[in-house]
Chains A and B, each alone.
Chain A
Amino acid sequence: NAGVTQTPKFQVLKTGQSMTLQCAQDMNHEYMSWYRQDPGMGLRLIHYSVGAGITDQGEVPNGYNVSRSTTEDFPLRLLSAAPSQTSVYFCASSDIGGDYGYTFGSGTRLTVV
């Protein structure tokens, strides 16, 4: 199993550009989420989903959109990139039972200039 796959691993954007961070999991997990991590800080929840067609906001949702059209995919869209969105982004998935906790992707390091 590949687990949770995030693409791209690195990205540089100009202010105002838009892009989509991809996240895919092959474990048939119902729950998926996006976090951002800034230097010296913990993980902050951006958006999450408890199943296809169901999404909700986390702690820091402004500037980001998500959708969940399939169980496998949970893309994160930056509508108009800002330097404050420079961060490392992690996608995570879990089954509802939570027996094995969250499985995290390896992250996307985004720089907005």
Chain B
Amino acid sequence: DAKTTQPPSMDCAEGRAANLPCNHSTISGNEYVYWYRQIHSQGPQYIIHGLKNNETNEMASLIITEDRKSSTLILPHATLRDTAVYYCIVRALSAGGYQKVTFGTGTKLQVIP
């Protein structure tokens, strides 16, 4: 599985867009990019995932570069409740296949009032 690199911390003003980068330069063609967040000591929560096209859901948008070596998670209007650690992982999807996935240390996003 490809490894990812994220900045250890970021700040964002409340109401502004939070843009969280992730580098995954060794990503394989069949690996998806997934984003999760962990609020305080809760279990991580799935946010969004994508293969090569940009994706949007009710929580966030995911922008993947054309070469797929990096991506950005966008929280369009950050609130104090978005303060959390955000994890970017890459994962291949195959029925019955290899599913060893590791999480790094993520980016600690602090939303500032």
Q: Which A residues have a C-beta under 8 Å from some C-beta of B? A: 4, 30-31, 33, 35, 40-45, 48, 50-51, 56, 58-59, 88, 90, 92, 94, 96-98, 100-107, 109
The answer to whether A96 and B87 have CB atoms under 8 Å apart is no
A104 to B109, CA, bound (A): 20
Contacts of B104 in A (CB 8 A): 42
User: In the complex, how many residues of chain B place their beta carbon closer than 8 angstroms to a beta carbon of chain A?
Assistant: 27
Contacts of A41 in B (CB 8 A): 105
The answer to whether A107 and B42 have CB atoms under 8 Å apart is yes
CB distance from B92 to the nearest CB of A (A): 9
Q: For the complex, would chain B's binding face be called helix, strand, loop or mixed by DSSP majority?
A: loop
The answer to whether A30 and B41 have CB atoms under 8 Å apart is no
Report the number of A-B residue pairs with Cβ-Cβ less than 8 Å. 75
Residue with the greatest number of chain A CB neighbours at <10 A, chosen from B34, B44, B95 = B44
Q: List 8 A–B pairs whose Cβ atoms lie within 8 Å, in order of A's numbering.
A: A35-B103, A42-B103, A48-B99, A50-B97, A90-B44, A92-B44, A94-B99, A106-B43
The answer to whether B43 and A45 have CB atoms under 8 Å apart is no
Q: Which B residues have a C-beta under 8 Å from some C-beta of A? A: 32, 34, 36, 41-47, 49, 87, 91, 93-106
The answer to whether B34 and A101 have CB atoms under 8 Å apart is yes
A59 to B46, CA, bound (A): 22
- Look across to chain A and name the residue whose beta carbon is closest to the beta carbon of B92: A98
The answer to whether B46 and A96 have CB atoms under 8 Å apart is no
The answer to whether B102 and A58 have CB atoms under 8 Å apart is yes
CB distance from B7 to the nearest CB of A (A): 14
- From A4, A44, A94, A97, contact of B102 by CB (8 A): A44
Contacts of A33 in B (CB 8 A): 99, 101
- From B36, B41, B49, B93, contact of A96 by CB (8 A): B93
Contacts of B91 in A (CB 8 A): 98
The answer to whether B46 and A103 have CB atoms under 8 Å apart is yes
